[in-house]
Structure 1
Amino acid sequence: MSGFIRLVPMNAEQYERFEQRSLADYAEEKIQAGTWTVEEAPERAKESFATYLPQRLDTPHAHLYMLEYSGGAGQNPEEAGYIWFNITEGTQGKEAFLLDILVYDSYQGRGLGTLTMGALEQEARKLGAVRIGLHVFGHNERALHVYRKSGYRVTDIQMSKEI
């Protein structure tokens, strides 16, 4: 793993791309998890976004960044994905909650997920957070690996069985 990730606040055009991709990915994750049907997923995903990002890019407590990857000295930074987290007041102080993270396919397998989690930690700390929480779908083995590698531990498990 070489290079580094910098979190750069999204602009309006980047937000539009993020929202389109994130809505589609979230709907697909919910379908795969068996939570939503194919028919209802797009609308349910939109409702969820309206709840968590009511003012879109200008939603208070929502932090939306593009991942800017620099592979080394002399290389121009490249857009490698995005990350979205919210900061709220928790029982122990401010808490960050990771809502979406994506490293684009062409950047997968280079350790950028781990680099991004480190950048998230630095940014959340700068914003006063004392804890970072997240949800991960059980079928998302790649994400589970990155989160465990980054020091996250399981705090809750929900299970189901098709019968």
Structure 2
Amino acid sequence: MVQLLPMTASDFHIYLRNAVDEYAQDHVKAGNWHPSEALQRSEKEFQELLPDGVASKDQYLFSIVDGITGMKVGILWFAVRNKASHPDAFVYDFEIYEEFRRQGYGTQAFATLEERVQELGLDSISLHVFGHNQPAIALYQAAGYEITNLHMTKKLGI
């Protein structure tokens, strides 16, 4: 079984460098942001969400660790959001490193996440996934997540 261990400050800095760039690229690929503004917008969002790094209020950043080998196999970041109806957990980022994919780590990480969220007294987990990320969509649906919103675009090629 995997463990969710609090991300260290040094792991956070490595994560942040990669995550800001990947998030910008995902928004460009989805057609949300123009390439010339994407990196700046991504940096701004991360700064707003994580002003104090791993110590940011209501933000939980973890390294996903194989419980047997001790190897870091991915990352998971969720936050407690205070929505109008009731607080929930929102997964901002989740990644199983490429060399560890399709070995059950993602499923185990989300099962462990559910335990953590319940320990915080929360009864739901939400997340966003880009439409082009079919492997993630399949994982989330297999874990019991349901589509609550769906945005669609048709590119006209003009």
Q: TM-score range by the shorter chain?
A: over 0.9
Q: Does the 8 A contact of 1:94 with 1:128 survive in 2? A: no
TM-score by length of 1: 0.91
Matched residue type, 1:160: T
- 1:60 is aligned to 57
Q: How far apart are 1:88 and its partner, in Å?
A: 2.2
Tell me which of 70, 75, 95 is aligned to 1:102. Answer: 95
The C-alpha deviation readout for 1:15-51, integer Å capped at 9, x for no partner, is 1011111111111111110111222111110011012
Identity over aligned pairs, percent: 29
Counting only pairs closer than 5 Å after superposition, residues 1-163 of structure 1 correspond to structure 2 as 4-70=1-67, 75-163=68-156
Q: Does the 8 A contact of 2:9 with 2:53 survive in 1? A: no
**Secondary structure class of the residue paired with 1:36:** coil
**Secondary structure class of the residue paired with 1:117:** helix
Unaligned runs of 5+ in 1: none
Matched residue type, 1:162: K
Backbone CA RMSD of aligned residues: 1.2
Matched residue type, 2:82: E
Alignment coverage as a number of residue pairs: 156
Q: How far apart are 1:7 and its partner, in Å?
A: 0.3
TM-score by length of 2: 0.94
Matched residue type, 1:85: F
Q: How far apart are 1:109 and its partner, in Å?
A: 1.1
Unaligned runs of 5+ in 2: none
Q: Does the 8 A contact of 1:67 with 1:83 survive in 2? A: yes
Q: Which runs of 4+ in 1 moved over 6 A?
A: none
